[in-house]
Structure 1
Amino acid sequence: MEMSYGPTIEGLMNHRSIRKFTDQLVTEEHRSAILAAGQQASSSSNMQAFSVIRITDRQLREELMAITGNQSYVLESPEFWVWCADLYRYTMAAGQGSGSERLEEANAEWYTIGAVDTALAAQNAAAAAESLGLGIVYIGGIRNDIRRVGELLKLPQLVAPLFGMCIGYPDQDPVVRPRLSPEAVMHENEYSSSAYASLIAEYDDRHRSYMRERSGGKLETSWSEQMAAKHSQSGRQIGGYLKQQGFRLDD
């Protein structure tokens, strides 16, 4: 008999990235609830080291879409939010800087706090949106030209854009993408890679089946093949920008 764990877990297990949305707008009530849920996420020492920028200007959306590699849903989704690691507000609260002063530089730990706080808040917001019948997709492509995004959004020192999020009512019903088996990600007492070869092979088979179903038989790419293709690409260069923004990543 299939186990039921309640609506929260069932909702999380049914997450799909949505890339096609209806024209129905997201109400202010729902926007507020989604943001409030994000704000209730765990935060390191209650620093709440993140900010969200809601993009409503069409020209700005078009520029951001171009930066992401012309992902059309950045322009077409009812809502597009940019999630930023934000230590600027913290320095002001701590009396270490203000808008007219040079802010104290932050080390890699500060950046890590901001990145983790931002991701936790965004995932809370994503789960909240899905519970309301909405769909989301994360947009890491804003880091394709992170400096330009920072300029467009007028980000001060110690604030860095990490990813975007499209939000809206789904106009598609994609199948759920399978994940690695729990045995591949859960370790006990110490890290062990001894079973990785067989676990990856098993996942490759499931991933091929998923790709066949998703593409209507046109593709059957394995996870390993996708990762090899990604590895062959040059990674986004963001270290220089983060240093420009005041994060000392070598400490």
Structure 2
Amino acid sequence: MTPTLATRSTDLDRLEALSFQRYRQTQQIGSVWNETVDTLLAHRSVRSYLPTPVPQGAVELAVAAAQSAASSSNLQAWSVVVVEDKDRKNRLNAVAGQQRQIAEAPLFLVWLADLARPRAIATQGGSASEGLDYTESFLLGVIDAALAAQSAVVALEALGLGTCYIGAIRNDPETVARELGLPEGVFPVFGLTVGFPDPARPADVKPRLPQSTILHRERYSDETRRKDLAHYNEVLRRFQAEQAMPSIDWTDQVRNRIGTVEALKGRHVLAAVARRLGFALR
């Protein structure tokens, strides 16, 4: 749908409501609204699902959206594995720490950085494929997978489905690789739960940092950072109270998440694991 000025009062009201949901304060985000903008701004991580199966064709549509995302040099260095088998999903959930959303979601997608395919193409054509042995190529695959997955998320949410990214499969990528039969040169980047949200346990839009913190013009500036972070701590604490979540300042959450090696939950060895999975990372 082509973006249009939200000249109707109902559209303007909806845009303001979406903006306030996302920031919990007045934030000017222009006056362009359509259903795509609505889907993007209303995104929330869904962790409670109905047992209803995902409609036939939804995966194929999501993959078409994923393949419509940008791809570096059109290498398309990603793949995705669809997991519906309950036992396999349970085994993957053990890697992720037994998360409720994985257990409940009828569909689990594992997004992959896939350098096995370009390597095979090079080998079959008699090329050395030396470029795949560098960190740049690993990053290329990870970025391509992330861009693809986010486009798929937008498509799935436009169908009324909910999603939640699962980075915890990187707690043990080698176990994930064995479970999914991944060849050398393929790395599991993250999972994605998919299903119909349970209306009895609704998820709300989590507030984000004000744009003054992350939007820079011409040159980077952190002049408002201290004030913005103090305000955001207050905003997020109100959100946590509304959602019956544990109360913690966002700044403390950041410090806890990056403060120790233990907080990485085994992911401090990812470079070594990636090498064992076939990435030289020179």
TM-score w.r.t. structure 2 length? 0.81
Deviations 1:189-234, CA, capped at 9 Å, x for gaps: 222223211111111111111111111xx64322112112212342
Paired letter, 2:88: L
3-state secondary structure, aligned to 2:109: strand
Shift of 1:153: 1.3
Q: Does structure 1 retain, via aligned residues, the 8 Å contact 2:47–2:203? A: no
Equivalent residues, number: 245
Whether 1:162 aligns to 2:175 is no
Deviations 1:87-126, CA, capped at 9 Å, x for gaps: 1111223x2359xxx9755211001110110000000001
More off after superposition, 228-237 vs 167-176: 228-237
Q: Does structure 2 retain, via aligned residues, the 8 Å contact 1:106–1:158? A: no
Deviations 1:157-202, CA, capped at 9 Å, x for gaps: 2110010001000003222100011111111222222321111111
Paired letter, 2:280: R
3-state secondary structure, aligned to 2:13: coil
Q: Which whole-Å CA distance do the structure 1 matches of 2:62 and 2:181 have between them?
A: 24
Deviations 1:52-83, CA, capped at 9 Å, x for gaps: 00112222111111110011321321110100
The structure whose residues are more often helix, as a share, is 2
Match of 1:18 among 27, 46, 51: 46
3-state secondary structure, aligned to 2:237: helix
Q: Which whole-Å CA distance do the structure 2 matches of 1:112 and 1:97 have between them?
A: 24
Match of 1:133 among 147, 153, 160: 160
Percent of aligned positions that are identical: 34
Whether 1:146 aligns to 2:173 is yes
Match of 2:13 in 1: 2
Match of 1:174 in 2: 203
Gaps (5+ residues) in structure 2?
Answer: 1-11, 16-32
Q: Which whole-Å CA distance do the structure 2 matches of 1:226 and 1:160 have between them?
A: 28
Match of 2:147 among 117, 120, 125: 120
Gaps (5+ residues) in structure 1?
Answer: none
Q: Does structure 2 retain, via aligned residues, the 8 Å contact 1:97–1:103? A: no
Shift of 1:2: 3.4
TM-score w.r.t. structure 1 length? 0.91
Q: Which whole-Å CA distance do the structure 1 matches of 2:155 and 2:61 have between them?
A: 8
Q: Which whole-Å CA distance do the structure 1 matches of 2:124 and 2:104 have between them?
A: 39
Q: Does structure 2 retain, via aligned residues, the 8 Å contact 1:50–1:114? A: yes
Shift of 1:136: 0.3
Deviant stretches of 4+, over 4 Å = 102-105
